[in-house]
Structure 1
Amino acid sequence: MPPRRARSERVTLLDVANVLGISSITVSRALREPEKVSEPLRQKILRQVEQMGYVPDLAARALASRHNGIIGVLAPALTNHAYLGIMSGIEERVRDTDFRIQYANTNHDADQEYRQVKLFLSQHPAGILLTGLQDQRVSDLLELAPCPVVQIVDLNLLPSGIAVGINHREAAETATRHLLACGYRRIGLIGGSRDLRAQRRHDGYALVMQEAGLYDPGLVMTEHKQTSMQLGCDLFKRLLETAPDVDAVFCQNDDLALGALFEAQRAGLRVPDDFGICGYNDLDFALCAEPRLTTIRVPRFQMGYRATDLIIRAINDECLPSRVIQLPFDLIQRGSTRPPA
């Protein structure tokens, strides 16, 4: 049995190695490069590590190597339902690795994003993953970053670094064309937040409506705040008051679409006969609403997984399959829109 230690004393690799009668290098390899140690020995080491309560010293690791083993993830809103799918992909990719994730919530605030990036860089991270807005100050910081940086972005922006994403403008164009094909003509848009992707969705909607000769800025209702079902209710009610003849709405996400659906039903509108609603993201509740929501399916899990995979490959100096990965989106037609003519 190993000697009892004072509560303030930290168990080290050398302590584990001395108990087993092996070198600390062998213990380190078993934990960080398991393929280099025989499986019986690795299991023996893991049991001893568990028994002694050994925890890696990330600060010491950062001094001894080029990074601390942590991938910093900046998110515009960790409470946003759509972000949960991205987080699931990130967590799944790091599950069987020595890397760990540290999240920072920027709340769509450029100053907060800049501060968090500086903080991450001061800690010698293994990599940084950005999933939200990015201003010029942040871009300048990341140009000099000593670690890999991967962005989840709108690929319409033609990113110069390593990136994963979809073309949000094209996705919005697809949604708006679907509403037109269903016979709706007075099609509004409701949206919120200052997220660049939301702006691209507005651009796609406006482009299609202008091409059809039907664009009316009075049918656009947006508010620069975090989106929610309540905001969807409020914006939809305001849209009906401003334009009583509106007959469909494209919502920048499913939270807003569900709020719009509730408000439409309160107003006595029959969805989809009198009124069409199209959301964005294909969240779980889109399939549970009545009627079920027509929406744009975004591969959120794959975004998180593929972006994290690129970071890990770059950290390990592996050859990247591509520096920019564009993922597909899909229009999922359900009961909140009429069948196309």
Structure 2
Amino acid sequence: MPQRRSRAAKVTLKDVATSLGVSSITVSRALREPEKVSETLRERIIAQVDDMGYVPDFAARALASRHNGVIGVLAPALTSHAHLGIMRGIEDRVRTSNLRIHYANSRYDPEEEVRQIRLFLSQNPAGILLSGLQQREGTLELLKAASCPVVQIVDLHLTPSGMAVGINHCEAAASAVRHLLACGYRRIGLIGGTIDVRSERRHEGYCLAMQDAGIADPALIASEEAPTSVQLGCQLLQRLRQQAPNLDCVFCQNDDLAMGVLFEAQRLGLPIPAFGICGYNDLGFAAFSHPPLTTVRVPRFDMGYRATDLLIRVLSGEPAPTDPIDLGFEVMPRGTTHPPDKRSA
């Protein structure tokens, strides 16, 4: 059996091919397009690659081909619970392709966003996926000049530069508030965190629904330009109750904040659902809190999967769609709010 070479003697694609008595093209195809090689031969090649310690030279591949085989994924907060669902969708779709993923984090910083996009483009990527783009002028100019497919996961009120999937966050928030109004709540507060495009749109949707009902009141809003968290939800409920002592319900811009509100309400002895709480995103824990959290279901996995699928289809030669893809949303009534039209006295 051939021995693994030392690091000083780099194994080449030709070395692997020669050891197996096949062509370099066959080895390359087994690694990049495995479905085009028989299972038996593919397993032999992969075993030999592992045994010999062959590492593909992706930089050389990028020079010799249209792209380097990498999808660049830029997000404002890779560690947020909401984005993890999008990442799972991206990775599930990429798993069945010959592409790889490179993640980058903009930290809600427009300058960092531009810098990361420039870095992606300098590496000749197969494509770029952008989640939560801030839509600054410099960023849009970069995307228009990109030599690879770009798919944005956006709020659909924006005008995407190219292909896009997403939902209308303003309408989703307004629908949630209208649901709370139908449940009989009237002093409905808003609790929010980091100010980005999506949180701004949720804020806008809340305000529109309250204005339409004729009960808008600035004292019902408590927001902080800081990363959202359970702790922040606790703190903002305390602030909001000082501003509006007759508060009877809270709409939160995400489920992390809503859990903080729920914990603080329980600590204060507020009766739930007489005191109503609604979150946003329908994260995994929302249905299993006590009581289960009313929230807005956002198809985060589908966003990642559909955006990646769209990019892969365009790479394979399919025409790019001209219209954004609206994946919709759903208000999920649960135990932290009254049923509509059945509010107890």
Tell me the TM-score normalised to structure 2 length: 0.95
Q: What SS does structure 1 have at the residue aligned with 2:285?
A: helix
Letter in 2 for 1:60: A
Q: What SS does structure 2 have at the residue aligned with 1:139?
A: helix
Q: Distance in 2 between matches of 1:112 and 1:182?
A: 43
Q: Contact 1:296–1:330 at 8 Å: present in 2 too?
A: yes
Map 1:1-341 → 2, pairs under 5 A: 1-2=1-2, 5-134=5-134, 135-273=136-274, 275-320=275-320, 323-341=323-341
1:180-229 CA distance string (max 9 Å, x none): 00111011101011220111111111111101100111211111111001
Q: Contact 1:282–1:296 at 8 Å: present in 2 too?
A: yes
Q: Distance in 1 between matches of 2:144 and 2:46?
A: 40
User: Aligned residues: percent identity?
Assistant: 66
Q: Contact 1:152–1:163 at 8 Å: present in 2 too?
A: yes
Decide which moves more: 20-29 or 234-243: 20-29
1:135-164 CA distance string (max 9 Å, x none): 111111111011111100011224241011
Q: Distance in 2 between matches of 1:172 and 1:4?
A: 58
Q: Distance in 1 between matches of 2:126 and 2:200?
A: 31
Q: Contact 2:3–2:52 at 8 Å: present in 1 too?
A: no
Q: Distance in 2 between matches of 1:3 and 1:240?
A: 71
Structure 1: which 5+ runs fail to align? none
Residue 58 of structure 1, CA deviation: 0.8
Residue 12 of structure 1, CA deviation: 1.3
1:274-303 CA distance string (max 9 Å, x none): x11100001111112111110001111111
Residue 20 of structure 1, CA deviation: 1.2
When the two structures are aligned, how many residues end up with a matched partner?
A: 340
Q: What SS does structure 2 have at the residue aligned with 1:10?
A: coil
- The structure-2 alpha-carbon separation of the partners of 1:49 and 1:302, relative to structure 1 and needing over 3 Å to count, comes to same
Q: Distance in 1 between matches of 2:207 and 2:9?
A: 63
Structure 2: which 5+ runs fail to align? none
Residue 334 of structure 1, CA deviation: 0.5
Q: Contact 2:157–2:168 at 8 Å: present in 1 too?
A: yes
Residue 9 of structure 1, CA deviation: 2.5
Q: Distance in 2 between matches of 1:9 and 1:118?
A: 34
1:61-105 CA distance string (max 9 Å, x none): 111112111111111111111111111111111112221111111
Instruction: Tell me the C-alpha RMSD between the 2 structures.
Output: 1.4
Q: Contact 1:133–1:195 at 8 Å: present in 2 too?
A: no
Q: Contact 2:133–2:152 at 8 Å: present in 1 too?
A: no
Q: Contact 2:173–2:206 at 8 Å: present in 1 too?
A: yes
Q: What SS does structure 2 have at the residue aligned with 1:291?
A: coil
Q: Distance in 2 between matches of 1:108 and 1:307?
A: 21
- The structure-2 alpha-carbon separation of the partners of 1:293 and 1:23, relative to structure 1 and needing over 3 Å to count, comes to same
Q: What SS does structure 1 have at the residue aligned with 2:293?
A: coil
Letter in 2 for 1:189: L
